[in-house]
């Protein structure tokens, strides 16, 4: 609870994953991927309830072993490739009726996000800040990027005013890192998500922002975890 308002944290973990099969329960240095998020969420001094929304009995059982609640199994229509996180979160919110004031999304694909990150993002919430989304600095400036025509010509690929600039002289850009999304529930419904005029960014470091989507991401994360031991 923060500001006398209760927080429902939801870890979304469906069974299907085409690019990295069984992604959410793959052992990351000996611990299932989803368990990393459960463990950090349980340490939070603000989260009132931590649940896992999944269509998989195996994911549900592993999540229970690590201390998360499984109040329901996710219906099939919210577990296919077309199902979006907003609909999944609404399903969780509506299960508890009006019991909670904030909805917090913690995706299991961000295993290095710490409880300090979670609680610091939550502490940003107030009357003016209705939602917080985690970001990190981009690894490469988007100013060095562009689309390519069919003939692969690089004419006008880089803007003339930055062609001869060093990367460190360019402005900082940030990207969504997928680690933390939290919003006042009424605001969440009003905007059909977390982005709106009263949403602020919580800046995380790049190491904690590792987002696992492919086997390469997973192997990279393993290297970091082993170095942190």
CB atoms within 10 A of CB 45: 11
- Exposure pattern of 176-205 as b/e (b: 16+ CB <10 Å)? ebbbbbbbbbebbeebebbeeeebeebebe
Q: Measured between alpha carbons, how far is 221 from 142 in angstroms, rounded to an integer? A: 24
Instruction: Output the CA–CA distances (angstroms, integers) from residue 117 to 8, 26, 45, 51, in the order listed.
Output: 17, 23, 12, 19
Q: What is the predicted pLDDT for the residue at 79? A: 87
Task: Read off the pLDDT of residues 50-109 as tens digits, 9 standing for 90 and up.
Answer: 999 999 999 999 999 999 999 999 998 998 878 899 999 999 999 999 999 999 999 999
Instruction: Output the CA–CA distances (angstroms, integers) from residue 192 to 11, 107, 132, 186, 199, in the order listed.
Output: 19, 18, 14, 10, 13
| pLDDT, the chain, mean | 94
Task: Read off the pLDDT of residues 30-56 as tens digits, 9 standing for 90 and up.
Answer: 999 999 999 999 999 999 999 999 999
Q: What is the predicted pLDDT for the residue at 168? A: 84
Q: Is the pLDDT of residue 8 over 90?
A: yes
For tokens 């692969």, the residue is: 152
Instruction: Kindly report the backbone phi and psi dihedral angles of residue 213, in degrees, each rounded to the nearest multiple of 5, phi listed first.
Output: -130, -25
Q: What tokens appear for 86 in the block?
A: 């907003």
Q: What is the predicted pLDDT for the residue at 169? A: 85
Q: What is the predicted pLDDT for the residue at 173? A: 96
Task: Read off the pLDDT of residues 126-146 as tens digits, 9 standing for 90 and up.
Answer: 999 999 999 999 999 999 999
Domains in the chain: ranges and CATH: 7-137+178-228 (3.90.550.10)
Neighbouring-strand partners of residue 182: 104, 132
2's CB contacts (< 8 A; 6+ apart) are 46, 102, 122, 123, 125
- The model's confidence at residue 18, banded by pLDDT at 50, 70 and 90, is confident
**SS3 (DSSP) at 178:** strand
Q: Is this prediction's pTM over 0.95?
A: no
Highest mean pLDDT among 12-16, 74-78, 115-119, 211-215: 115-119
Element (H, E) at 219: helix 215-228
Q: Measured between alpha carbons, how far is 51 from 54 in angstroms, rounded to an integer? A: 10
Instruction: Output the CA–CA distances (angstroms, integers) from residue 187 to 6, 48, 88, 91, 197, in the order listed.
Output: 15, 19, 16, 16, 10
Cβ–Cβ under 8 Å, residues 110 and 181: no
Q: What is the predicted pLDDT for the residue at 80? A: 85
* Mean pLDDT across 193-215: 96
Q: What is the predicted pLDDT for the residue at 165? A: 86
Q: Which residue has the higher pLDDT, 60 or 227?
A: 60
- Report the percent of the chain where pLDDT is more than 70: 100
Q: Is the pLDDT of residue 21 over 90?
A: no
Q: Is the pLDDT of residue 229 over 80?
A: no
Q: What is the predicted pLDDT for the residue at 19? A: 77
């Amino acid at each position: 609870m923060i500001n006398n308002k209760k927080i429902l944290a939801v870890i979304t973990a469906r069974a299907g994953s085409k690019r990295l099969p069984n992604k959410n329960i793959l052992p990351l240095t000996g611990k299932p991927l989803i368990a990393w998020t459960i463990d950090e969420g349980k340490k939070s001094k603000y989260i009132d309830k931590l649940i896992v929304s999944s269509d998989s009995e195996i994911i549900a059982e592993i999540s229970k072993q690590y201390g998360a609640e499984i109040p329901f199994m996710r219906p099939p229509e919210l577990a296919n490739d077309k199902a979006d996180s907003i609909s999944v979160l609404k399903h969780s919110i509506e299960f508890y009726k009006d019991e909670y004031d904030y909805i917090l999304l913690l995706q299991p694909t961000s295993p290095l996000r710490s409880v300090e990150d979670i609680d610091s993002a939550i502490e940003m919430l107030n009357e003016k800040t209705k939602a917080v989304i985690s970001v990190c600095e981009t690894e490469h400036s988007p100013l060095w990027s562009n689309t390519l025509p069919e003939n692969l010509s690089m004419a006008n690929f880089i803007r003339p005013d930055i062609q001869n600039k060093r990367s460190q002289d360019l402005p900082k850009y940030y990207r969504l890192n997928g680690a933390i999304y939290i919003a006042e529930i009424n605001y969440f419904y009003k905007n059909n998500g977390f982005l709106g005029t009263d949403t602020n960014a919580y800046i995380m470091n790049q190491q904690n922002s590792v987002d696992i989507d492919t086997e390469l991401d997973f192997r990279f994360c393993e290297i970091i975890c082993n170095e942190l031991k």
